[in-house]
Amino acid sequence: MAAPAGRNYSPWQWFVRRVEEETPDVPGPDVQAWQRQARRRFTQLLGRLPDRVPLNVEVLDSVDCGTYRREHIVYDTERWMSVPAYLLVPHRRKRPGPAILAQHGHGPGKDEICNLVATGDEGSAPNLYGHELAERGYVVLAPDLRTFGERADWEPPNIYSCDHTYMYASLLGHQLLALDLWDLARGLDVLSEHPLVDRRRLGMVGLSQGGTCTLFLTAWDRRVKAAVVSGYFNSWARCATIGWNMCGSQVLSGVVASLDHLGLGSLVAPRPLLIESGTSDNIFPAETAVGEVARLREVYRALGAADRLEHDVYDGGHKWHGVQAYPFLDRWLGNVTPSGSRVA
């Protein structure tokens, strides 16, 4: 039976109407004062975090991939959790230089971005940005997020792992995205301790769920000096009200009322940030991204860093593009390209 006029029975419609009513805080004229207050709110949103433990990095095997070595490694992030990852080390790297934390999206995990499985939108190139960054001379760390790749538990076909894991984490007072961000921050520790990495030149990239993690981690951890957020940057009012678009691995309790994507990007400023948006991306619409990036550009301009924000709007769907991303990272992390030239 339909609800009477003026009434609503639908939890989904309740959510959509409530999102429309929320007004997340955005920077005012004093951006730096806003950032200080917003960082405190962000820390509160993350909630309970694990205790730090020794990393205990272990190399499980090593494969020569032509221009680089792919090490299958594992490291600890909390008492009962270890993270499997690929560490890609270019053969030509002889002294400390830039490194990238490369984060996969929903799908098979780190294997996809490191060229071990061939996936991607129909008619498009696979999302091989971990592999491609290593070929360009970066040391790359590509970990599996919780519920993906080697960290995926068996689930019956009617159970969605992201939501299931979110529920279990919440029973312990944790949030799945916050736990993923904790693991990724420990990944920055792994890179920082590597003898061929300059810890002052760390970057991060990611598509989709990897873009989620890149935006949130870069906003939280200022060790990330340049970032590429692909197929994600938008607004909660738009992307969260597209049916079945959000999951337990992408959200923090209360974030809609506190920090929109614009606010998270404003916490990244004035560090270099490039955003990729596909004109045919039907889950993170490009037209919304264009408007939100324009608002974010005003924040960067207020901080005297307008040249550090770029927006690559390309013809295509929900995929990694990379056309502007690689020169952008080379510029801001001081990478030496395969041709031997250093990009200032």
- Cα distances from 287 to residues 100, 211, 239, 299, in angstroms, run 29, 18, 11, 19
309 contacts 74 by C-beta, under 8 angstroms: no
What is the spatial distance between Cα 206 and Cα 228, in angstroms, rounded to a whole number? 7
pLDDT value for 275: 98
Looking up tokens 């971990």, which residue turns up? Answer: 130
User: β-pairing, 58-64 with 224-230?
Assistant: unpaired
pLDDT value for 271: 98
End-to-end CA distance of the chain: 66
* Predicted structure pTM score: 0.95
Closest CA to 235 of 284, 268, 274, 297: 284
Q: What are phi and psi of 141, to 5 degrees?
A: -110, 125
pLDDT value for 3: 85
Q: What share of the chain is helix, strand, coil (3-state, %, to 5)?
A: 35, 20, 40
pLDDT value for 338: 55
- Helix (H) or strand (E) segment spanning residue 176: helix 176-193
100 contacts 138 by C-beta, under 8 angstroms: yes
- Which domains are present in the chain? 26-333 (3.40.50.1820)
- For the chain, which ranges sit under pLDDT 70? 118-125, 336-344
Q: What are phi and psi of 165, to 5 degrees?
A: -70, -35
